[in-house]
Amino acid sequence: MVQSLNRALDVLEALAAGSDDVGISQITARTGLPLGTVHRLLSSLVARGYAAQDLETRLYGPGPRLLEVAARASASRRFSLSRIARPALLGLTTATGETSNLLVLNGDEAVYSEQVASPHLVRMFTEVGQRVPLYCIGGGKAMLAGFADDQLEAYLDRTTLCAFTPKTKATAESLRHELTGVREQGFAIDDEEREVGVCCIAAPIFDRLGRCVAALSISGPTTRMSRERALGLGPLVHEAAATCSIQLGFHPAESG
């Protein structure tokens, strides 16, 4: 029974892997299953609506039932960003001793959506629900780095970059240069760019369509969170955000 289930899932994944219908021989090649087995499984999947066959070309593709199940599943609370991110936030604060945040993209701003506070008496606190510009905070820069090039240029065209501190990247050229590095290393650093005395590190979260929709960050006073420490913690934040992305259905290999 388990073997049959695994084989049926292999066939479904083969059907969904391409952008066009495929023949039995292609499915056989993709799955490594015997031709007769593939034919029997396809017959059952077509009967249940999980696969469909074009009567003229005799090729197969995903069926409408597959879309229906996927749509229902996507509405499940299991795929709620807040639910997925909460364990990551707790893990980051436990590992670093600093405040962790979930920021979501809302237009041209980032909104603090969830937070786990640092146990230290001196700690960073940003009220949940607060809206902030993208270009001058770690989470915002992490999301901007996840934008497609045309999306980023459109944002820069309509955004006035103001210097909140002497360290703010307040020109399009300096911000583009910064974001190139963020994309390469997988995380962004806000080293006193929004507020003097505050440093944070953040990484982007992507949804199943490859869109950057949120970011995880940890922040602390520069007395504890130096730029050097932030750089050292970057991979940890990146890994936590990547785990959230995968749970949202993101597949890095398919994102190009």
Same domain, 228 and 207: yes
First-to-last CA distance in the chain? Answer: 36
- Burial 44-59, CB ≥16 within 10 A → b, else e: ebeeeebbbbeeeeee
Same domain, 146 and 225: yes
Same domain, 99 and 162: yes
Q: How confident is the model at residue 1 (pLDDT cuts 50, 70, 90)?
A: low
Same domain, 38 and 116: no
Residue range of the domain that includes 28:
2-72
Same domain, 31 and 67: yes
Q: 54, 72, 90: which is the final residue of a domain?
A: 72
* CATH code at position 56: 1.10.10.10
pTM (two decimals): 0.77
pLDDT in tens, 45-70: 888 988 888 888 999 888 888 878 77
* Residue that has been written with the tokens 């039995």 in this structure: 24
The token pair that represents 134 in the structure block = 């993208």
Report the length, in residues, of the chain.
256
194 pLDDT exceeds 90? yes
Instruction: State the total domains in the chain.
Output: 2
> How high is the pLDDT of residue 76?
62
pLDDT in tens, 222-232: 999 999 999 99
Same domain, 68 and 84: no
Q: How confident is the model at residue 146 (pLDDT cuts 50, 70, 90)?
A: very high
- Contact criterion met (CB below 8 Å) for 12 and 35: no
Q: How many CA atoms within 13 Å lie on the side-chain side of 85? A: 28
Q: 39, 72, 105: which is the final residue of a domain?
A: 72
Q: How confident is the model at residue 114 (pLDDT cuts 50, 70, 90)?
A: very high
Q: 20, 52, 72: which is the final residue of a domain?
A: 72
> How high is the pLDDT of residue 71?
73
- Radius of gyration, CA atoms only, the chain: 23
* CATH code at position 81: 3.30.450.40
